[in-house]
């Protein structure tokens, strides 16, 4: 079974740095994109971008470009989301999700076939 296990919730102050993780099991880590999705409590889903594990290649949504960094470690099958300087507006639940092996009519993977449980990041002074 494919499983994504995320790190525990974090509380930080504005300006702090933070890295959260998403450890995957049950499949070959380098074969599928890992995406990150933000959800402010009570609000909608926001696609942050994706990382191609093992290739150090990431695509960022324009809304998050320059504010976060994705990375991955093939040796531990883990993806990471990093902030160098948090803002209060970063308070949200962050999900990692695997994009599965099926492609839509345009040739893009569409199936978030496995999700992490979410990591709540709280940024408050």
Residues forming the site for other proteins (CB under 8 A)? 35, 43-47, 49-50, 59, 61-62, 95, 97, 102, 104-106, 108, 110-112, 115, 117-118
Closer of 107 and 125 to other proteins (Cβ): 107
Q: How far is CA 101 from the centre of its chain?
A: 18
Tokens read off for 96: 């990692």
CB of 17 to other proteins, least distance (A): 26
The CB-of-117 to other proteins minimum distance in angstroms stands at 7
Nearer to other proteins (CB atom), residue 27 or residue 47: 47
Q: How far is the CB of 75 from other proteins (least distance, A)?
A: 27
In the numeric block, the tokens 């345009």 are attached to 106
Q: Which two tokens stand for residue 89?
A: 């507006």
> How many other CB atoms are found less than 10 A from the CB of residue 29?
21
Smallest CA-to-CA distance from 94 within 38, 21, 20, 49 is with: 38
In the bound state with other proteins, the residue whose beta carbon lies nearer, of 12 and 112, is: 112
């Amino acid at each position: 079974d494919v499983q994504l296990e995320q790190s525990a919730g974090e509380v930080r102050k504005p300006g702090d740095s933070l890295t959260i993780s998403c450890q995957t099991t049950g499949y070959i880590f380098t074969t599928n994109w890992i995406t990150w999705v933000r959800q402010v409590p009570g609000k909608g889903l926001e696609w942050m971008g994706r990382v191609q594990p093992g290739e150090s290649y990431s695509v960022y949504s324009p809304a998050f470009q320059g504010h976060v960094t994705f990375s991955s470690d093939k040796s531990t099958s883990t993806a990471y989301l990093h902030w160098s300087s948090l803002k209060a507006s970063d308070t949200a639940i962050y999900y990692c999700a695997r994009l599965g092996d099926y492609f839509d009519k345009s040739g893009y993977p569409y199936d978030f076939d496995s999700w992490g449980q979410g990591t709540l990041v709280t940024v408050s002074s």
